[in-house]
Amino acid sequence: MEYSGARMTSHREDLRDIPLRGQIDLPFLMLVLLLLTIGVVMIFSASFARAYYDPTDETGGNAAYYFIRQLIFAGIGIGAMFVCAGLPVAFYRRMSRLLLIVSLALLVAVPIIGVRVGGARRWISLGFTTFQPSEITKIAVILYFATLICKFKDKMRTVRYGIVPFAAILGVIAVLLVLEPHLSATIIIFAIGAAMMFLGGVEKKWFIGGAVAMAIFVFIFVNFFPYASSRISTWLDPLNPEERSGDAYQIYQSLISVGSGGLSGLGLGQSRQKYLYLPEEHNDFIFAVVCEELGFIGAMLILCLFALLVIRGYWLALHCRDRYSFLVCAGITTMIALQVFLNVAVCTNLIPCTGISLPFFSYGGTALLIQLAEMGIVLSISRDIPARKE
C-alpha cells in the first residue's frame, strides 16, 4: 500500500509538470471563418447561372446546386478543423510518414483509376464526389519534411541528410504528377519543399542549383507537352484576335471580367461574364468574378484578409514552443500564401494559366475539407503557444 501511494503521489507530481494546452488562437480562427463565409457566398453568386443552364444536366437545373454542395462540405470542414485543433501536435508527427505513403499510393493510382477531365487525369472518384490526391500530398510533404528536419537537426547542412532524402521524395512526386499531368501542383509542392528545406537550415547554394533544375524541368515540360506550350503562347499574347476563341478564350474572358469591375464593382450577383462566358467561373477563376462584382476595393479587402491570415500564421510560427511546430505552422502558412498569389496571378495574366484554386473560395468540396483540416493543424499548434502574462 505504501508503494502504491508513493507511485500515486509521484504520478500526480508528474502531471503537474505537463503543460496544459491553451485555447485556440481566436484571430486566426476568425480570419478563416470570415474568408470561408465570403467564399461560400461568392460560390453562389458565381455558379448559379452555370448550375441552372449546365448542358450536362449534372445539376438538374438547380441554380443552388454548387452552393449547397459547397455549404455542406464547409460545415463538415469546420467540424474537421475543430477535430484537428483538438489533436496534439505529436499525433501529426507520428502520422506524417504514413500520410506521405498513402498520398504517394494515391498518386500512383491516379493514372490507373483516375477520372479524366479536360485532357488531364488528376482526380479519383468517390462516387458522390471526386478529389485530387495532390491536395493530400501537399500537407503530407509539410508534415514529413518537418519530421525529417527535426530528426537530422545539425546534419541538414550535409548533402547526405539535408539534400538527398528531400530531393528523392520531391523527385518521385514530380514524376507521378507529370504523368497526370499536373504542372501547377508540381510547382507548388516543389516550392513548399524548398521552403521547408530553407527553414530547416540547408545551405543557400543548393537553392541556386534547385532553381536551375526547376527551370530545366519547366523547359522540358513546356516543349514536350503540347498543352503547356499553348498556354505559354496565349499568356504572351492573350489579346490576339486569332486566339480569343481558342486557347486564349479563358484568360481573355477573365481579363474582361476583372476590368469590368472598375473601382467599386457591378454589385454582388451582377457579374455578366459568369453567364457562360467565363469558364471555371466558380472554380479557378472565381477571383475574376470577385473583381467584377466587388470591384478593386472589394478584391483588395479580400486580399488584405488573406494577408492578415498569412501574417498571423507566421506570427504563430515564430512563437511556437518547439521546432517541429514552427516548421509545420510556417509550411502551411507558406502554402496558403503561394496558392493565393498564384491564383490571383493567373486570373490577371501575370503568369501562364494553370489549374490553381483560390483557398476557401474555389468550388471543390474535398479540397475545402482538406484546407480547413490544415487550418485545424495550425490551431492545434496555437494551443501550445504560451499565453502572454499581464
Q: Are 191 and 218 in contact (CB under 8 A)?
A: no
> Does the pLDDT value for residue 274 go beyond 60?
yes
pLDDT-wise least confident of 32-36, 270-274, 291-295, 355-359 = 355-359
- Picking from 196, 224, 252, the residue at the C-terminal end of a domain is 224
Q: Residue 294 burial (CB < 10 Å; 0-12/13-18/19+)? A: buried
Q: What's the DSSP call for residue 25? A: -
Whole-number average pLDDT of the chain:
85
pLDDT confidence tier of residue 105, bands split at 50, 70 and 90: very high
Q: How many domains does the chain have?
A: 2
Q: Report pLDDT for 227.
A: 61
For residues 359 and 273, state if they share a domain. Answer: yes
The pLDDT tens digits for 355-374 are: 788 999 999 888 999 999 99
For residues 265 and 140, state if they share a domain. Answer: no
Average pLDDT over residues 185-191: 89
pLDDT confidence tier of residue 57, bands split at 50, 70 and 90: low
Residue 9 belongs to a domain = no
Percentage of residues of the chain with pLDDT beyond 90: 53
Q: 0.75 cut: is pTM over it? A: yes
- R_g over Cα of the chain: 23
Residue 32 belongs to a domain = no
Residue 40 belongs to a domain = no
For residues 68 and 113, state if they share a domain. Answer: no
The runs of H, that is alpha helices, within the chain are: 2-17, 26-53, 65-86, 89-113, 133-152, 159-162, 164-178, 183-200, 205-224, 226-236, 249-260, 286-318, 323-347, 365-382
Residue 198 belongs to a domain = yes
- Picking from 180, 198, 224, the residue at the C-terminal end of a domain is 224
Q: What domain range includes position 263?
A: 54-86+238-384
For residues 347 and 242, state if they share a domain. Answer: yes
For residues 311 and 325, state if they share a domain. Answer: yes
For residues 250 and 201, state if they share a domain. Answer: no
For residues 63 and 160, state if they share a domain. Answer: no
- Dihedral angle, C-alpha 48, 54, 60, 66, nearest 10 °: -40
For residues 378 and 309, state if they share a domain. Answer: yes
Q: Are 129 and 365 in contact (CB under 8 A)?
A: yes
For residues 255 and 219, state if they share a domain. Answer: no
The pLDDT tens digits for 132-145 are: 889 999 999 999 99
Residue 244 belongs to a domain = yes
Cis ω for the linkage preceding 19 (within 30 of 0): no
Residue 270 belongs to a domain = yes
For residues 245 and 380, state if they share a domain. Answer: yes
Q: Report pLDDT for 222.
A: 67
Q: Report pLDDT for 243.
A: 62
Residue 326, CA distances (Å) to 152, 196, 293 in order: 16, 10, 38
For residues 192 and 144, state if they share a domain. Answer: yes
The pLDDT tens digits for 250-262 are: 888 999 999 999 9
- Picking from 201, 224, 247, the residue at the C-terminal end of a domain is 224
Question: Could you count the other beta carbons within 10 Å of the beta carbon of residue 55?
Answer: 7
Residue 34 belongs to a domain = no
